[in-house]
Structure 1
């Protein structure tokens, strides 16, 4: 009997132990120790700082224009008989471009010639009358008034001859103007007349441009204009051309544009092969002085706070720099504050990256 009681007691204590174990809260698992953040960079994310040189410059844009161009106009009213050229034709100075009808013009010349002949005959008669009156005056057969009248009529007849000579000269010039010729050499840019068309005085007929020398018209901000001089070099590119072109500052407009206060600068562009065309848009840079030497870095390395991320002893530092020359076109800059050979980070970094250990990806 006592053994049965002991067995029941042990069973009771075992049940209580199981119940207490089930009711007790479980132990909280401790998190593993946090590993410190590491900045992993690829080889494409960094560059070695090198010494180099950049020329101070300003980015400019503008349009190419022909330095010499002209519009040929009709100098006489007439009907167009023939047109001998078309757009794109090479033109030489003095070349015949078109012919106007000369029938009416030739009639005007003949009329002027007849009028001149009549005036000359009248002048001969007036001179004879004057001479006769002067002879009769010596014999007291004519009065002083008649003598004066005869002399005046002779002078008037002589002036009439001059007037008719001038009219004949104008008529002959009009006949010559029926032959439309080119005043300059170049390329025909526009033809505004067709055969059978009647043109009036000063009607535009042709546009001719000389592509041998072009002018690039650019605008320079007011803050940079003090460093612009005639003779400075401008390098530029034109869409559709693989070649880089060059020109020289030839003129500077003395009056700033209203609003922007920028100044217009004119760049002379030699074009011996006539590869460039007038009216094309160009983009380039205007050199503003001698080249400057320093540490050369990509612009992508410069942060908005004026620092450059540099890896020192496998740790990222943000080093303040001073930009000496900035070239937005090439994407490079010259700076002070960085040593040649420093490993510079060019990729975008998150805030708080300064001081992190750096690991280069293999």
Structure 2
């Protein structure tokens, strides 16, 4: 039996619900189509952006060169400069006399000098204990006297034997024996005299005297010391003469001569010396020669001090630049040579100097221009503008 409580298929309620459901489906379809279209549009835009050519790069503007610095220049020119040979070295004694003991085994009784004392030739410096030597000398003198007495007796015997032999009262053999005895006595006298002279010489050696005038530079003996033969006792600066052994480059030695004046400086002290001699050899290791410079007596210098010597043998030409052109880069002298409107750093070797010029011995040719003002603000390769243009 049909259920009258449920609406039928052809009832108005069912008929009214169908169009509403159709409209909902179409709305969903339209929304899906709109979303699909939007996705396609976005995909196309992204692809277009990826394949779009990059905008042209901005043109590169060349950097302007740094402005040129205005500088003054000067040319390297030859000129005559006073030649100065410079050396340095130690102050030494002209002659240092080493005084030692000639006799060994003697005790030092007295030392009469101290270091720094001035002494005269023949002055007593050291006295040894002479007691033993004087006793030995007395024995030697007694032996000489004994030998001389024996010689006189032998000569008398020889004279008597000669007289007897002439008269025939003595045989020839006796005369010959007396002659031999006399000769032996003479030999013993000579030996005794030699022994006495030896002891006297040893006694003289017990008194050490100055061999020349001078100043005691070192004393290495004290009273009570027992000396050995050859032991050093004193050192003496002969005549108190000092000199400077100046080391000079080998190429400068040819310009030096004995007698040339030398300006010697030690700190603030300056004295005038003189070239005494030039050593005949040059050191193979340092290529330096020794010039012996005699110092005046009132120099105030002492052995062992280090001093500088400057000799002016005359004038000589050289390639020069103004002193303001010299720079020091990496610890050595250099100049800024100008070529066109650029500068080039040029290491150089310098020589003689004066108030307004410095000699260039290597690294620069005659006529080349160098910067003399403003060089401290420039580097290798910088552009410059010249004042003399």
Q: Tell me the TM-score normalized by structure 2.
A: 0.67
Of the three residues 138, 144, 165, the one matched with 1:110 is 138
Q: Which residue of 2 aligns with 1:203?
A: 231
Distance 1:346 1:143 in 2: 120
144-153 or 196-205: which moved more? 144-153
* Structure-2 change in CA distance of 1:38 and 1:232 (3 Å): farther
342-351 or 133-142: which moved more? 342-351
Of the three residues 271, 282, 290, the one matched with 2:315 is 290
Distance 1:328 1:182 in 2: 48
* Structure-2 change in CA distance of 1:334 and 1:67 (3 Å): same
Deviation at 1:229, TM superposition (A): 4.3
Q: Which residue of 1 aligns with 2:36?
A: none
157-166 or 104-113: which moved more? 157-166
Distance 2:77 2:252 in 1: 31
* Structure-2 change in CA distance of 1:86 and 1:232 (3 Å): closer
Q: Indicate yes or no: 2:69 matched with 1:39.
A: yes
Of the three residues 208, 230, 253, the one matched with 2:257 is 230
Q: Which runs of 5+ in 1 are unaligned?
A: 1-24
Deviation at 1:148, TM superposition (A): 2.3
Kindly indicate whether the alpha-carbon contact (under 8 Å) linking 1:237 and 1:243 is maintained by their aligned counterparts in 2. Answer: yes
Q: Indicate yes or no: 2:99 matched with 1:72.
A: yes
Kindly indicate whether the alpha-carbon contact (under 8 Å) linking 2:91 and 2:242 is maintained by their aligned counterparts in 1. Answer: no
Of the three residues 319, 343, 349, the one matched with 2:378 is 349
Q: Which residue of 2 aligns with 1:10?
A: none
SS at match of 2:376: coil
Q: Indicate yes or no: 2:88 matched with 1:61.
A: yes
Deviation at 1:118, TM superposition (A): 0.4
* Structure-2 change in CA distance of 1:146 and 1:31 (3 Å): same
Deviation at 1:334, TM superposition (A): 6.0
Kindly indicate whether the alpha-carbon contact (under 8 Å) linking 1:230 and 1:252 is maintained by their aligned counterparts in 2. Answer: no
* Structure-2 change in CA distance of 1:268 and 1:160 (3 Å): farther
* Structure-2 change in CA distance of 1:346 and 1:174 (3 Å): farther
Q: Any idea what the Cα deviations from partners look like across 1:231-274, whole Å, max 9, x if unmatched?
A: 274746555443255431513324x44455x3633323222114
* Structure-2 change in CA distance of 1:332 and 1:123 (3 Å): same
Distance 1:117 1:59 in 2: 70
Q: Which residue of 2 aligns with 1:4?
A: none
Paired positions, count? 325
Distance 1:93 1:212 in 2: 15
* Structure-2 change in CA distance of 1:244 and 1:113 (3 Å): closer
Of the three residues 202, 205, 209, the one matched with 1:177 is 205
Distance 1:246 1:317 in 2: 46
Q: Any idea what the Cα deviations from partners look like across 1:61-101, whole Å, max 9, x if unmatched?
A: 33232111111112233111111222122222222212211
1:255-294 aligned within 5 A: 256-260=282-286, 262=287, 264-285=289-310, 287=312, 290-292=315-317
Distance 2:274 2:230 in 1: 36
Q: Any idea what the Cα deviations from partners look like across 1:208-245, whole Å, max 9, x if unmatched?
A: 11332424152533xx1672443274746555443255
Distance 1:91 1:305 in 2: 52
SS at match of 1:253: strand
SS at match of 1:154: helix
Q: Indicate yes or no: 2:231 matched with 1:212.
A: no
Kindly indicate whether the alpha-carbon contact (under 8 Å) linking 1:234 and 1:249 is maintained by their aligned counterparts in 2. Answer: no
Higher-Rg structure is 2
Deviation at 1:141, TM superposition (A): 2.8
Q: Which residue of 2 aligns with 1:248?
A: 275
SS at match of 2:241: strand
CA RMSD in angstroms comes to 4.5
Kindly indicate whether the alpha-carbon contact (under 8 Å) linking 1:73 and 1:204 is maintained by their aligned counterparts in 2. Answer: yes
Distance 2:299 2:124 in 1: 23
* Structure-2 change in CA distance of 1:291 and 1:259 (3 Å): closer
Deviation at 1:158, TM superposition (A): 1.9
Kindly indicate whether the alpha-carbon contact (under 8 Å) linking 2:266 and 2:306 is maintained by their aligned counterparts in 1. Answer: yes
Q: Which residue of 1 aligns with 2:25?
A: none
* Structure-2 change in CA distance of 1:36 and 1:197 (3 Å): closer
SS at match of 2:223: coil
Of the three residues 127, 139, 146, the one matched with 2:155 is 127
Deviation at 1:134, TM superposition (A): 0.7
* Structure-2 change in CA distance of 1:82 and 1:249 (3 Å): closer
Deviation at 1:135, TM superposition (A): 0.7
* Structure-2 change in CA distance of 1:275 and 1:232 (3 Å): same
